[in-house]
Structure 1
Amino acid sequence: MRLDDQICFSLATASRSVAAVYRPLLEKVGLTQPQYMVMLVLWERGPVTIKEIAAALHLDHGTLTPLLKRLEAAGHIVRRRRTDDERSVEVELTPQGAALRERAAEIPDEITRALPLTDEEGELLRGLLAKLDGRDRP
């Protein structure tokens, strides 16, 4: 049993390394990595419920709620109870949050350039990670 042979160790260290590459890029646009992932869902899908965001990010409501509160306080999103179902809260981008997409548009390309992977290796890695967490990539 060697540390370097453990998948959990490789995943944990790789995750920290990737987060370190993202951190300065996200700081420029005023987001943390979890906030960025919430914004990606909203930029991709438009107004969605908290339940839909939680499902997309594989997060529980207790983890997601503080993220949403901070994004709302920063002026990037608004949360509203749905009129057709008051148990459900919808999250929508503000004009400021929508405009942030343009400022963040270069982040994926900068990440790709910063990581020591070919395009093919990156795609393979995403596919393998999706398989590990139960999401098969098409």
Structure 2
Amino acid sequence: MAQKLSDNVCFALYTASNALVRAYRPLLDEFDLTYPQYIVMQSLWYNDGVSLKEVSNDTQLDSGTLTPIVKRLEAKALLTRKVSVEDERKKVISLTDKGRLLRDKAKDLKAQLEAKSSMQREDVETLRKLCLELAEKLG
């Protein structure tokens, strides 16, 4: 039997990831966010007032990628970067009132995307767990 590109799990994950980001784009346009900015905002919605390193660990974005994203979100007045009172070498990233308000407005995005996928909730959860397991084992 002839093999094809789609037989590779790496290709399947790559195409699924691209499709997911493309599906999110029109939903995020309403909030003037890119997908990486949305990931950073989600991280802060779950855990506000943290260091850049903690956001980096949570989002799996390296500091070279994360810093410009955080600066853009700060320019949009969604978060602030301030020197930590405990350690002057660290910056604390915190949501602004506008950033917290955005959380309330964007809370249905995940459900909208799940509905758009037409996948069963259990299948989405299984996929999520398998992706996290793969990332952990390869990391």
Interval containing the TM-score (normalised by the shorter chain): over 0.9
Q: Could you say what secondary structure the match of 1:79 adopts? A: strand
For 2:95, the equivalent position in structure 1 comes to 93
Rounded Cα–Cα distance in structure 1 between residues aligned with 2:74 and 2:117: 31
Q: Which amino acid aligns with 2:120?
A: T
Return the offset for 1:20: 1.2
TM-score normalised by L of structure 2:
0.93
CA distance in 2, matches of 1:45, 1:4: 37
Cα distance in structure 2, aligned partners of 1:117 and 1:80: 42
Counterpart position of 2:28: 26
1:44-123 correspondence to structure 2 within 5 Å: 44-123=46-125
RMSD across aligned positions (CA): 1.1
The amino acid of 2:17's aligned partner reads S
AA aligned opposite 2:7: D
Which amino acid in 2 is paired with 1:84? E
Aligned-partner Cα distance in 1 for 2:79–2:72: 9
How far has the Cα of 1:95 moved from its partner?
0.6
Shift of 1:74: 0.4
TM-score for both structures, normalised by structure 1 = 0.94
Aligned partners of 1:67 and 1:84: how far apart in 2? Answer: 24
CA distance in 2, matches of 1:74, 1:18: 24
Secondary structure, aligned partner of 1:133: helix
Query: In structure 1, how many angstroms separate the alpha carbons of the residues matched to 2:46 and 2:60?
Result: 16
Q: Hey, what's the Cα distance between the residues in 2 that align with 1:47 and 1:71?
A: 15
Equivalent residue letter for 1:83: V
Q: Secondary structure at the match of 2:136?
A: coil
2:82 aligned counterpart, secondary structure: strand
Q: Which runs of 4+ in 1 moved over 6 A?
A: none
Displacement of 1:18 after TM fit?
Answer: 0.8
